């Protein structure tokens, strides 16, 4: 039996959702080192930097449950366009002041708008992706999102964290990303109704299959710690500041190139086995960074390590799309984003404290331990199934 064909409008919708995910990642990758290096320039300790970074995670965690409510009341294009324009405005506010507390407030607003873009575009994408192409399209989604991290890292590596050039570039990128929303005719996203549109839908979806959401938590914690604190780690180990941007770019490149193979492995050997394999590599990678002698070695290690850690998110989304129906996807994806947000919330302060008290190796060891949480979740789930 031949697979069902897809309309041009559906493909346009998939492409538009992908573009929004890409730009959200670009914004995150520019913001993280911009914020961290600027705070470090003021003489703040890594713990203090980590504490201020938790406000970005808090913003994401607080606004995630609201996204299904927004999707129930406004067209998805309006939500995404508003988030992109708000993010552009946040970038333009950075050069206006050098007050750290105002910068923290701007970062809070930026995280709020990016979370809305992130969750809404992802739910829309999951709905549009047909079952027979879902694995490949989710690999493409993860690779595209990862490519945004690489682009953002390259932008700040080239323009630096001082002066208005990087914020202005970020503002232009976010504003231009609204064009696909205006130019292409696409299917509308299914609007959540009733209980599915309420913030409580997040908790309901989470309780149905908690192990599905742990990979998002792990990636949120690892990614946020790495992208926000790698600039400080780079200085601690004696590399030049530009290495931080190139480290993020190398990680993004690994994320792009490895999601396809990870998806193929999941199709062949199963999602759970593949998740276990990438978790093992996620655990080993930080210990390899401990013995890296040059930035080039660190780039190569982060290429493989970050690509595998990003596989957490890809494989988690596959499980999400398999488990929940269209009307449940907005709530389920909000719960997934919320799990990611919890990781974002706790990781910077914990990572900054480890970096300050135990040094670069302690910080990396913390990243390694976090990579084991999906394995623990799978073990607990299997044990519960055996008892039931």
Provide CB contacts within 8 A for 70, sequence distance 6+: 79, 116, 120
- CA-only gyration radius of the chain, Å: 20
Rounded Cα distance, 219 and 15, in Å: 24
Residue 212 DSSP symbol: G
**pLDDT score, position 105:** 87
Mean pLDDT, residues 281-289: 94
Provide the phi-psi class of 43: left if phi over 0, else alpha when psi is between -120 and 50, else beta: left
**pLDDT score, position 153:** 75
Q: How confident is the model at residue 346 (pLDDT cuts 50, 70, 90)?
A: confident
| 255: nearest Cα among 24, 25, 16 | 25
**pLDDT score, position 1:** 42
Question: Which tens digit of pLDDT belongs to each residue from 189-246?
Answer: 776 655 555 555 566 666 666 777 888 888 888 887 887 788 788 888 888 877 877 8
Structure tokens at 39: 């705070």
Angle between helices 134-159 and 242-269 (to 10 degrees): 170
User: How open is the CA angle 67-72-77, to the nearest 5 degrees?
Assistant: 75
Q: How confident is the model at residue 2 (pLDDT cuts 50, 70, 90)?
A: very low
Mean pLDDT, residues 143-157: 78
Mean pLDDT for the chain?
81
Please name the residue that has the structure tokens 């105002």.
102
Give the residue with greater pLDDT, 295 vs 149.
295
**pLDDT score, position 386:** 72
Structure tokens at 333: 């994806």
Please name the residue that has the structure tokens 């390899």.
288
Q: Which of 118-132, 164-178, 201-215, 351-365 has the lowest mean pLDDT?
A: 201-215
Contact 340, 219 (CB under 8 A): yes
Rounded Cα distance, 327 and 325, in Å: 6
């Amino acid at each position: 039996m031949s697979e069902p064909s897809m309309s041009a409008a559906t493909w346009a919708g998939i492409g538009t959702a992908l573009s929004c995910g890409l730009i959200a990642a670009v914004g995150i990758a520019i913001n993280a080192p911009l914020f961290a290096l600027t705070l470090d320039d003021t003489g703040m300790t890594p713990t203090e930097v980590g504490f201020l970074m938790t406000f970005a995670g808090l913003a994401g965690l607080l606004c995630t449950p609201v996204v299904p409510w927004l999707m129930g009341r406004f067209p998805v294009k309006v939500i995404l366009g508003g988030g992109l324009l708000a993010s552009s405005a946040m970038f333009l506010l950075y050069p206006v002041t050098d007050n750290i507390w105002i910068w923290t407030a701007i970062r809070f607003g930026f995280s709020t708008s990016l979370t809305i873009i992130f969750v809404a575009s992802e739910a829309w994408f999951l709905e549009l992706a047909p079952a027979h192409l879902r694995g490949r399209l989710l690999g493409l989604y993860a690779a595209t999102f990862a490519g945004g991290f690489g682009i953002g890292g390259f932008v700040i590596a080239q323009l630096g964290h001082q002066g208005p050039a990087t914020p202005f570039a970020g503002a232009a990128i976010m504003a231009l990303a609204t064009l696909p929303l205006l130019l292409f005719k696409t299917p509308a996203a299914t609007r959540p109704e009733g209980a599915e549109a309420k913030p409580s839908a997040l908790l309901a979806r989470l309780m149905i299959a908690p192990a599905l959401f742990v990979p998002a938590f792990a990636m949120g914690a690892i990614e946020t710690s790495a992208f926000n604190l790698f600039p400080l780690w780079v200085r601690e180990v004696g590399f030049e500041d530009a290495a931080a941007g190139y480290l993020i770019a190398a990680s993004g490149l690994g994320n792009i190139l490895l999601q396809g193979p990870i998806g193929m492995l999941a199709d062949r050997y199963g999602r759970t086995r593949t998740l276990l394999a990438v978790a093992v590599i996620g655990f080993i990678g930080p210990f390899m960074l401990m013995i890296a002698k040059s930035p080039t070695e660190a780039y190569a290690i982060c290429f493989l390590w970050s690509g595998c850690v990003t596989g957490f998110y890809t494989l988690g989304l596959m499980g999400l799309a398999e488990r929940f129906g269209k009307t449940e996807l907005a709530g389920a994806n909000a719960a997934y984003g919320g799990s990611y947000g919890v990781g974002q919330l706790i990781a910077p302060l914990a990572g900054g404290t480890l970096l300050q008290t135990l040094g670069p190796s302690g910080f990396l060891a913390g990243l390694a331990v976090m990579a084991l949480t999906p394995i623990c979740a799978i073990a607990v789930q299997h044990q519960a199934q055996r008892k039931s």
